[in-house]
Amino acid sequence: MVNSNSIYCTKFSIRKFSTINRNLEFDGKVIVVTGAASGIGKAIAILFSEMGANVVAEDYDDDVKCLAEDYKNIIPFVGDVTLESTAINVVAFAIEKFGKLDVLVNNAGRIINKLTVDTTLEEWNMVMNTNATGAFLHTREALKAMIPNKSGSIVNIASYASFFTFPLITAYASSKGALAQLTRTSALEAIENNIRINAVGVGDVVTNLINEINPEGREFLAQHGRKAPIKRAANPEEIAEVVAFLASERASFIVGSIVMADGGMSVIIQ
């Protein structure tokens, strides 16, 4: 006998949640990470490696070669991210070694701490060429490799400075603003080929990058990070986790987004 008060549940088909073993989520995937010798880029390269990927770790610093000593599936590539030839060659290298390119992470970054009036053209170009132009060149070459396969993902390392700013970071904020728009525009162009492009809007992360403008950079970032609602700066590994998510099929419906991983800093700035 059926209870007249019972609820009739309509049956319909839904996509099941992934049952993929997270540790092997990128098994067989080929990934290029720029700026991989230290900090966020190094953490990203290691995480992808631990998740089964073949990683081409690019950096202008020879220290990137050290990754290959501990991780068999990380292959170093020494090159200047700002050069067109580097972007062309690193993608060609990945395809030559592994036959394809599945994921690009544009992580390489530079920062200077100067007033606009004191910033030289050389300094401006250095930051813009690394943070924006380098990402454009690598994105362009990666898309050429991904489009024929109708598959791929690109993740850019943006910043809360892509949207909000404060004195002394004119070149950096401008470059990250450009990177945000590169993310959005290229995402609209690429999605018709099933290629997703997104970015992570990072906050204060304890890396050596800040040492370029402050000899006590790591401590400076740790202190500055305490201004965020979370009351601390991030570790590089925390940002790497967000990158891996955006690059994965778990983020299959995220297109052209800048996912904020800034401890809530952008919320209080608003």
Active site residue ranges: 172
Tell me the CB-side half-sphere exposure of residue 221, using CA atoms within 13 A: 23
Is residue 261 within 8 Å of residue 238, measured between CB atoms? yes
Q: What is the per-residue DSSP string for 104-124? A: EEE-------B-GGG--HHHH
Q: What is the per-residue DSSP string for 158-186? A: EEGGGT---TTBHHHHHHHHHHHHHHHHH
How long is the chain? 270
Helix (H, G, I), strand (E, B) or coil at 258: strand
d(CA 186, CA 197): 7
Q: Quote the tokens at residue 227.
A: 């201004």
In sequence order, the 6+-apart residues with CB closer than 8 A to the CB of 209 are 39, 109, 110, 111, 217
d(CA 26, CA 20): 10
d(CA 190, CA 164): 27
Q: Quote the tokens at residue 34.
A: 């720029």
Query: By C-alpha distance, which of 75, 71, 72 is closest to 57?
Result: 75
Is residue 186 within 8 Å of residue 134, measured between CB atoms? no
